[in-house]
Amino acid sequence: MSPFICFATLLSSVVWGVNGINKEEENGRFLTCSITEQHRQDLSNQQLTRIPPDLSPSTQYLDLSHNNITRVSDEDLAALPDLCILELHHNPLEYISPTAFLNNSKLEVLNISYSLLKAIPDLSFPALRVLDVSSNLYGSYALGSSFKNMEFLFSLALGSPYATAINYTDFAPVQNIPLRHLSLGYGEGLQSYESGSFTQIPSLRKVTLIMPFCERVSMFQDILKDLQRTQVESLVLVKFLPSNCNISSDPFEGLKGLRSLTNITFVDTWLYSSVFVKLIRNLLFSSLQTFTFRNITYNEDTANGIQFHGIPGYNHSVSIKAIIFDSVEHYRYKFPTINISVDLCAQLTYLKFSGSGMIISPCDLISSLPSLEVLDVSNNLLKDAGFWWHGCSYTKVFPALKQLNLSNNRFKKLSFISQKTQQMRALETLDLSSNSIELEGQCSWPSHLTNLILSNNNLGNSVFNYLSPHFRSLDLSKTGISVLTKDMLSSLPNLTHLFLSSNGLQVLPADLWAPSVEVLHVDHNAISVISQDSLKGLPGLKELKAGHEPFSCKCDSYCTPGMLLEEYQPGRVACEPWIQAAIAILVTLAVVLLLSLTFYACDGAWYLKMLWVWIRIKRRSSQETERLANASFHYHAFISYSQHDSNWVDKQLAPNMEKAGFSLCIHERDFVPGDWIIDNIINCVESSYKTLFVLSQSFIQSEWCNYELFFAQHRALSIQQDSLVFILLEPIPADSLPRKFMKLRTLLRQQTYLEWPKEERKQKVFWASLKRMLQEGNKHMVMKQAAVGIADLMSDLVID
């Protein structure tokens, strides 16, 4: 069979990040501060215009990104001596005081990217390790003298649309510090590069260039020469080639003889077939080992696609060991044609085609790679017949493959897949997560396959019937498992790692027996108790993950949220039911006694009755609203008095007032027979313009008078206080009123009331004053206002 194999693949529209680099993961290895959750403050996206002055002095991590902060003054961060990481990016930051970080001697990470700084800050950071000043507005990459003192700085990011030149002296201040990673550029092209500029940083090991080189190939060659002199090991090229870029020369000629560079990554760029062939040609003469493309757009600008049959007289294989294609979009959705020698990839051990829209795998090519140990074709559109395509000869079936990642595709038949893995003689790990796996037929797994990942598939409890006794690691997270039994695990005698997160498990059975299991994850289930008996069946267990469970800690439980197993030691009270019952009874009796005393001391019986009345009023209010809107008052006043004072009301009050034309409501004659007394009281208060109280010692002792006073009092507070008229037949000190009428005490102290005089001469003045009080509002003129007020009263009674 010919060593040249033609295949078509790579179709995608997946979008990746601009840099494609996990900076936190990369830089975190070099930080010395250990940050706990309670010392983190996230104030991002809060529309802040300044740094808050009330921050905790123990803050170690502070995120102020995506706000409207324009300046950092001397006092803004002075109270944070332990600050280690400060995120200030995406702010309209224009000014930073030279002494703003004077008290932050522990600051190790500062991110002030995407701001409006017109100069690279020249500040003192004795412990700083990571500084990001990219995407600002300065006009030069020249570093200030303070950078000489940053003896721990290992990562620096610079970038501005106005900085278009790199001069020889720009990086001189960092010549003697251990700077290992430099990110440079804004996405705009450089106008000039002075040869030797990067040699000013002899410790440099990784360079990220965010700029196009379509029209400046010679400048890129000068940079490669300098990177060779500084022994740079990793090069990341972001936006290396834009769309509609025509390159006649060879941009990668500088890779020849570049012995220190082992890793090159292209991010967010166009990749032309003509350029790709030139890249491969130069790889033959370089020491590159890792070759990565992230978020690229492939454009086939040659008639026959990528054609590379080697170089005459060159018999050595490429030193490349890893090729990564992650998120590939094909221009105009045209399948690429690639004709390349398998012999050139003899040393390839890692191959990834992820997010490429692959439907049919280049099976003859990849299955024949002699050293390939890891194959990742995740996040594609592959089906069973697409990966194991019938058009492939499979003369050699992955002779060295140990790990196969088929996750996030469209694979279905587990039995079919198990049979195909029999042909992969070295396969140890298979990832089938996030597919559409179906369980049918019989599975025949090879004995050398020991690790299987089936997470995020709808499988259910029957999945245990399709597994292999040779499995050592099994991931069944989020697969719909609801029960775990002894029999299920008995068929897996070699299992050491079992992952059952995010399922529907409610209990770990007491008869569980899996002596070989060392790691068990059952978090995000519905387990309330993990008993001692369950754990006795796991004698080899070293790690148990059981977080996010509705635990109910009991005496036979070995775990509790946030606590190590050996730390949970329940006391005697927690383990003796009779002690718990005795304590519960005593506490209940004490609470009942306390509530009873409080109920009696606070006149609880009366308030309980009032609560019942309020409920009745609440039911009445919805029915009365429409009627009250057009209501008219039938009485000038409702008379509230004690039966002991009825003689004065019948012989003095009623004759004098009714003779003068006032209509009075008196309960002995105007209450509706057969209605409940409370309803009669409410109706009379509602139908009267004012409520007139005849106060005496007998009034205070009358239960019904207290009810009448209560309703009228709430009506007065919700409508107008002058709806209450008080007549004192005899002196009553305000302090002698019951505690439940606190508001009435206040009214008597603040409101004018009439006293019944014994002298006949003064009685004439009394009647004149009383008549004037009832004549202040005509009953027809105030009907609408009072009706609305009474409707509000109903809500107030329920609220009070």
Cβ neighbors of 614 (< 8 A, separation 6 or more) are 797, 798, 800
Q: At 312, give phi and psi (nearest 5°).
A: -55, 130
The pLDDT assigned to 131 comes to 96
Structure tokens at 600: 């009696």
Structure tokens at 781: 């003129």
DSSP 498-531: EE--SS------TT---TT--EEE--SS-----B
Other beta carbons within 10 Å of 596: 11
Q: Give the torsion through C-alpha atoms of 519, 522, 527, 529, to 10 deg.
A: 10
The pLDDT assigned to 12 comes to 26
The pLDDT assigned to 628 comes to 42
For residue 334, pLDDT over 80 is answered with: no
Q: For the chain, how are helix, strand and coil distributed in percent, rounded to 5?
A: 30, 20, 50
Give the integer Cα–Cα distance in Å for 643 and 629.
34
Q: What is the mean pLDDT of residues 655-676?
A: 83
Tell me the pLDDT tens digit for each residue of 80-121: 999 999 999 999 999 999 999 999 999 999 999 999 999 999
Residue 23 pLDDT class (50, 70, 90 cuts): very low
Give the integer Cα–Cα distance in Å for 181 and 557.
50
When mean pLDDT is compared across 223-237, 578-592, 695-709, the lowest value belongs to: 695-709
Tell me the pLDDT tens digit for each residue of 145-179: 999 999 999 999 999 999 999 999 999 999 999 99
Give the integer Cα–Cα distance in Å for 55 and 591.
43
- Distances 716 to 11, 559, 705, 737, 798 between C-alpha atoms, Å: 79, 61, 16, 18, 15
DSSP 574-630: HH-HHHHHHHHHHHHHHHHHHHHHHHHHTTHHHHHHHHHHHHHHHHHHHHHHHHHHT
Residue 450 pLDDT class (50, 70, 90 cuts): very high
Domain locations along the chain = 475-552, 634-787
The pLDDT assigned to 384 comes to 93
Cβ neighbors of 679 (< 8 A, separation 6 or more) are none
Asked if residues 300 and 9 have their Cβ atoms less than 8 Å apart, the reply is no
Residue 312 pLDDT class (50, 70, 90 cuts): low
The pLDDT assigned to 463 comes to 95
pTM above 0.75, yes or no: no
The pLDDT assigned to 714 comes to 64
Instruction: Considering the domain delimited by 634-787, tell me its CATH architecture.
Output: 3-Layer(aba) Sandwich (3.40)
Tell me the pLDDT tens digit for each residue of 486-521: 999 999 999 999 999 999 999 988 888 899 999 999
Structure tokens at 16: 């990746």
When mean pLDDT is compared across 119-133, 168-182, 687-701, the lowest value belongs to: 687-701
Tell me the pLDDT tens digit for each residue of 248-301: 888 888 888 788 899 999 999 998 888 888 888 888 788 889 989 999 998 888
- Looking at per-residue pLDDT, the higher value among 72 and 337 belongs to 72
Q: What is the mean pLDDT of residues 411-438?
A: 95
Residue 7 DSSP one-character state:
E
Cβ neighbors of 577 (< 8 A, separation 6 or more) are none
Q: Which fold has domain 475-552?
A: 3.80.10
For residue 612, pLDDT over 70 is answered with: no
In 455-495, which ranges are continuous DSSP H helix? Answer: 486-490
- Looking at per-residue pLDDT, the higher value among 41 and 635 belongs to 41
Give the integer Cα–Cα distance in Å for 378 and 432.
9
Structure tokens at 648: 């004065």
Q: What is the mean pLDDT of residues 43-52?
A: 95
The pLDDT assigned to 520 comes to 95
Amino acid found at 573: V
Tell me the pLDDT tens digit for each residue of 110-125: 999 999 999 999 988 8
Q: What is the mean pLDDT of residues 767-775?
A: 79
Residue 15 pLDDT class (50, 70, 90 cuts): very low
